[in-house]
Chains A and B, each alone.
Chain A
Amino acid sequence: MRLTMLAQALDQSLLDRPALILLLALLSVLALFAVLGQFLRRQTSVQLDPAIIRTFNNRVVSWMTICAILSGTLMFERWVTVVFFGLISFWALREFITMTPTRRGDHRTLTWVFFLFTPLQYVMVSWNLLRLYTIVIPVYASLFIPARIAFTGDVKRFLERTAKIQFGLLICVYALSHAPALLYLELQRFDLVSGQYVEWNGKPAGLLLFLLVMVQISDTIHFVCDRTFGRYIIAAHVNATRSWEGLMLAGFGTGLVAMIIQFLLPVTPFTWYGAGIMAMVISIMASSGTMTLSAIKRDRGVKDYGTLVQGHAGVLDRIDSVCFAAPIFFHMTKYFLGKPDTLAAAGDWFPMFYC
């Protein structure tokens, strides 16, 4: 009885069977890592830097939290997952703005950023207003922010303050919102046998899981390579450990894993080589995200966004890689496999937009 209910719930969820298996595999690997991390922490004989273990444990625990909540939200309608990502964005943005020095004159602008643009972006994503949500923040908000600051009359470091708020909104909210937007894509599949595009019958959560799993695999490979044999450091001032070896191996390794996963558990409509290429792009974008956010942190002289205020987990430290990978992955998937003319236009919701 219970089992049939569970099966029913899974039927109605956003997960199909391969996606469910992938999600369970991801959670168990993370749990395994968590146990391993705790074991290493207690271990005194192993010659390992305790700082590395602490970093490792922090990452595993926060990713486990994110994935556990996500597997819950994927059981419900799509908007529940959108709301979850909205909350992550909100928290990341407050970390970013807390770290960034703003002036008294920015207060009203920040109120609009936090209480209008952030929720609006996710409302538009959940309504699938693709043509609107891809331009509201990069165009409308980018024009609104400097104008609103100009109206306050405070000109000190004007361009710098404007840029900081725009960048925070773009990375923490706009870029990240493309991850749950993957749930709304209507896609087709390229059939290698017939050489034609055919209907794809998978459920939407697969793409989102693919993105998150690839980002984590890429981060893990990068982390392990950097700490074990990475010698050619990319930019020591930005990040003292990230090496070229790690970057390359993370790219190729992630691509390889993606091909294997696509072969065993086809959660996405990609062909096997398509999955490999997508994963390589995701990996490179993820590394770029971490490097960029590191550069900002070093410039501000902080180690982690989490250490700004003691006791906070530092959400932005964890999702920086997803933020950079999500929009590129979203657009590539849409260009190559999106069905023509299936995306809701703003006009379908508000007839006045047709004029």
Chain B
Amino acid sequence: MLGVIESRMKQVSIAILVGLAKFFSGASVRWVDCTPDECQRVYYANHTSHLDALILWASLPKNLRALTRPVAAQDYWTGGPIRRYLANLFNAILIDRKKVKAHNSPVDILNEEIAKTYSVIMFPEGTRTPSGEMQEFKSGLYYLAKKRPDLEFMPVYIDNMNRVMPKGELLPIPLLTCITIGPPLWLEPDESKLAFLTRARQAIINLKEREEA
């Protein structure tokens, strides 16, 4: 009985949050040269705001939302009851940023968590940038690609989100934002770490330029 109420509450909270996210972001999503699919994917995006993960998650079709989990920093998302509740609500994969060791590697945890069903949302820059300018990518993306060559890596460009809620602000303002999801890419055989990360980053920049054109 309690379990039923709990899961019902979870559904309601998710519906409210998705509604709010869509309202604040203007709910405009574009799939460029690709379509929504239930296959395992890694959505990696530029990171400018706390709301990025929520907005991106909310912009996916409902059937994909149940299969997609955001990757989040453990130290931040367990730091208080509300954050913990939210992390639980979105079924987030929490990664400990401080204790990255060979026997405790985030990529292994990630691989275990997604198994053969889930897709993930990642922000390979690692942290938000105040200006909205994209930084270099951390190498996690590459190691994940190496471990799981079957995953599709989907570049996502989130536009205007740094104006909706810049780093350090409490309240968002309801400007129109746009999410562009690009064609998937895979790790080529013999592709070096640097080459892959540059190519992945360039894919987001291409989406950005495409939108500005």
Give A residues with C-beta under 8 Å from B. 90, 94-95, 97-98, 102, 104, 107-108, 110-111, 114-115, 308-312
A residues less than 8 Å from B163 (CB atoms):
102, 107
| CB pair A312 B173 closer than 8 Å | no
**Does B20 interact with chain A (Cβ within 8 Å)?**
no
Q: Give the one of B26, B169, B177 with max A CB within 10 A.
A: B26
A residues less than 8 Å from B130 (CB atoms):
104
A residues less than 8 Å from B178 (CB atoms):
309-310
Complex Cα–Cα for A14 and B81 (A):
50
| CB pair B176 A110 closer than 8 Å | no
Complex Cα–Cα for A110 and B166 (A):
13
Interface size on B, residues (CB 8 A): 15
| CB pair A104 B28 closer than 8 Å | no
A-B contact count (CB 8 A): 40
Listed A/B pairs (18) with beta-carbon separation below 8 Å: A90-B174, A94-B174, A98-B26, A98-B160, A98-B175, A102-B163, A107-B163, A107-B173, A111-B173, A308-B176, A309-B28, A309-B178, A310-B28, A310-B178, A311-B28, A311-B30, A312-B28, A312-B176
Q: A115-B171, A309-B28, A310-B28 are in contact. List 18 more A-B contacts (CB 8 A).
A: A94-B175, A94-B176, A98-B26, A104-B166, A107-B163, A110-B173, A111-B171, A114-B173, A114-B174, A308-B176, A309-B26, A309-B176, A309-B177, A309-B178, A310-B178, A312-B26, A312-B28, A312-B176
User: Nearest chain B CB to A61's CB is how many angstroms away?
Assistant: 19
Complex Cα–Cα for A37 and B16 (A):
39
B residues less than 8 Å from A114 (CB atoms):
173-174
B residues less than 8 Å from A94 (CB atoms):
26, 174-176
Complex Cα–Cα for A308 and B212 (A):
10
By Cβ-Cβ distance, the 7 closest A-B pairs, closest first, are A98-B176, A309-B176, A110-B173, A98-B175, A309-B28, A309-B178, A311-B28
User: Nearest chain A CB to B69's CB is how many angstroms away?
Assistant: 27
Complex Cα–Cα for A97 and B174 (A):
9
Known pairs A98-B160, A98-B175; A107 contacts B30 (CB<8 A): no
B residues less than 8 Å from A95 (CB atoms):
176
B residues less than 8 Å from A115 (CB atoms):
171
B residues less than 8 Å from A107 (CB atoms):
163, 166, 169, 173
